[in-house]
Chains A and B, each alone.
Chain A
Amino acid sequence: QSVLTQPPSVSGAPGQRVTISCTGSSSNIGTHSKIYWYQQLPGTPPNLLIFDDDNRPSGVPDRFSGSRSGTSASLAITGLRAEDEADYYCQSYDSSLRASVIFGGGTKLTVL
């Protein structure tokens, strides 16, 4: 069971907007630990999508955006496209006794 909780799946039609939530606790997202989002296409390594909560690396379309509030974070994708169909993971750091990098369980995005 992951320390960060994500919905197992979300879906949307082309052109629509979807959001993926990432719920943590006071020992990780709640401590203002940085949040990262990765996109993983089938059969490929994860690829950095969002860093430091809401920043996009060069080459990532502005259709992707990140936000955080309290002990949760969200990834929003607007203007959904077929090529966005992938698994999405949030990542942060937990400063509890375990002191570890933590990932969400992943969310499968299906473009209808």
Chain B
Amino acid sequence: QLQLVQSGAEVKKPGSSVKVSCRNFGGHFRNTAINWVRQAPGQGLEWMGGIFPVFEETHYDRKFQDRLTITADELTSTVYMELHSLRSEDTAIYYCARDMNGDYLFDPWGQGTLVSVPS
């Protein structure tokens, strides 16, 4: 049974960067895409981007492409999401989610990581 386990909550200063991890337990890693979706407090879901390790492909939403980096470490079956130049509006829960076939069907999801950027 695939399980995605994310790193713990972070508090960051404006202008800094945050790196959140998502470890894949019990599933294939290389031929599975992992995507990142965030949810600001009381708000809806927002897709940020994803990575398909076997093809060494990353896709970013235009809103984030200048300050978002998604990488993968095959040795530890872990995907990382790094967001730079943080601002208070980046305060949100960040989720990773599996996309098995590259058609943006997200299942399952990680437990979420709260990133707080106090103004």
* A residues apposed to B, CB below 8 Å: 2, 34, 36, 38, 45-48, 51-52, 57, 89, 91, 93, 98, 100-106
Contact = CB atoms under 8 A, between A and B. Distances in A.
Secondary structure dominating the interface of B: loop
B112 interface: yes
Contacts of B106: 36, 38, 46, 48, 91
B109 A45 contact: yes
Q: What band does the interface of chain B fall in when counting residues whose beta carbon is under 8 Å from A?
A: 20 to 34
Given A36-B106, A101-B61, A101-B104, A46 B47 contact: no
Contacts, number: 57
B57 to A, nearest CB: 14
B44 interface: yes
A98 B110 contact: no
Contacts of A91: 45, 104, 106
A91 B45 CA distance: 9
A23 B100 CA distance: 26
Contact of B105 (A34, A100, A103): A34
Contacts of B91: none
A103 B45 contact: yes
A100 B47 contact: yes
A103 B47 contact: yes
